[in-house]
Amino acid sequence: MNLVNKENFFFLLFLLLPITIILGSTVSLINIVLLNILFITLIIFQKNYDFFNHISIKLILILYLYLIFNSFISLNYEVGLARNLGFIRIIILFALTNYFFFNYKNEKKIFDFWTIVICILIIDIFFEYFFGRNLLGQGHNEIINYNRADIREYASVFTLFDKDYFLKITYGNRITSFFNDEPIAGAFLSGFIFLIFGHILKRFNKNIFAFIFLLIAFVAILLTGERSNTIKIFIGIIIFFLFLDFIKFKSKLILFLFFTLTFSLILGQSEYLKTRYIGQLYSHFSNKENFEKFKEENIYVGLYKSGFSVFKNYPLFGVGNKNYRVETCKKEGDQIKYNYKCLTHPHQIYFEFLSEHGLIGTIIMLSILFYLMYLILKSIFLSRDYIQIGAFIFVLINFVPLLPSGSFFSDFNVTLFWLNFSIMFASNKNTNIFAKKTI
């Protein structure tokens, strides 16, 4: 394969990233590995190794070394070793994304294609909301049961269950779109909504269509019933509006009120959404008795307490990446003693970090991530590159406290997070790691 063909194949694989994520973690992983291999081949052919001197690469490599160290102090190093070793693909993804934006002048084609993919997903969400099935004719499952056998199918590392363990989660009318029985359509859309909004603003010179897209995409996320992602996106929209220097404060306020009014009207038209977004919360906080019951019975509160209990027992370095499940599911006696909730992870980023990485590991990871964001913050404000702003906002809202979240290092979440983190650097010539100018 000659250089031209390699670069064309590289472009195609990058183009298909959103589709491969929809198709599943295995397909996405294969795509990223192929991208990694092609990028390494191109770098070796061009003998272009200067980017290794960039501070972002050095710090992310330190993060990688920490993850390797974390594996060997884990309760069961075999459980998280593949995840930690495999993080190298994310480092290469970060570098290759910067390489792509620096060397290719047709990144608009990438975002044009991604816009089409996201718009199809949005249409599918609306279609499933009204007709109960997606465009492929697949209906969403109303109830998913996680029990001992399911967990063993989900990951072979679950060998520590001594008794039958059963947990039922009711998804109700949650929209799953092309993700079948996984309620992650809103999470996926969240990973691209600000990138696409920024792209449309940039591509069409701050056209009104960008705001129409943002409103429709926000409504789509609202319809999925994913409350945490809806709240995060709403926060992200407010932050994005603050960056829009071409709109006066009065107009920003009107836009914000319009989004709020749309949110209220849609809730008013759906008993399910009204119950999910307002009714359930009101019932929990309407009086002291309900609030106390909420603290005792709510699955997320229980998981947060469980995650904090694991942290208290392993305060310095935690139990190890992906080992929360090992600690909380090993013995029923420990579950009662420490108020553990046996599940894959605590479903909140800070409790996940604290329980699996302890105080020292959490400080290392957050310090690296926040410091890298701080390094380019000035460039983000000065350049007003809306794609970069969109990526920055998605990265930022991942760290909103208390709201539930997926596992940070799972294939799905780590890909969305680091794709945005990479574009946050890559899309601006002043922060791209392949530029001659250093931060």
The per-residue pLDDT for range 250-260, each reduced to its tens digit, is 888 888 888 88
Helix (H, G, I), strand (E, B) or coil at 166: strand
Q: What share of the chain has pLDDT > 90, as a percent? A: 58
Percentage with pLDDT > 70 across the chain: 87
Which whole number is the average pLDDT over 49-74?
95
CA nearest neighbour of 340 among 384, 303, 306? 306
Separation of alpha carbons 225 and 140, rounded Å: 13
Q: What is the pLDDT of residue 206?
A: 74
**Confidence category of residue 311, pLDDT binned at 50, 70, 90:** very high
pLDDT score of 165: 35
Model confidence at 274, pLDDT cuts 50, 70, 90, reads confident
Pairing of strands 143-147, 166-170: antiparallel
Count of all residues that appear for the chain in the document: 439
Whole-number Å distance between alpha carbons of 241 and 317: 39
Q: What is the pLDDT of residue 281?
A: 67
Least confident of 32-46, 127-141, 192-206: 127-141
**Vertex 342 angle, CA 76 and 297, to 5°:** 155
- Residue 180 is classified by DSSP as T
Of 409 and 279, more confident: 409
Per-residue pLDDT averaged across 416-434, rounded? 95
d(CA 10, CA 2): 12
Confidence of residue 88 (pLDDT cuts 50, 70, 90): very high
How confident is the prediction for the chain on average, in pLDDT? 85
Scanning 247-385, the segments in alpha helix (DSSP H) are: 249-269, 271-274, 280-285, 288-297, 299-313, 324-328, 332-338, 349-383
State residue 212's pLDDT score.
92
The residue with tokens 């553990």 is 340
pTM of the model: 0.88
List, in sequence order, the alpha helices (H) in 73-134.
77-85, 88-103, 107-131
Amino acid in the structure at residue 114:
W
Closest among 25, 78, 60 to 320, alpha carbons compared: 78
Residue 164 confidence (pLDDT) above 60: no
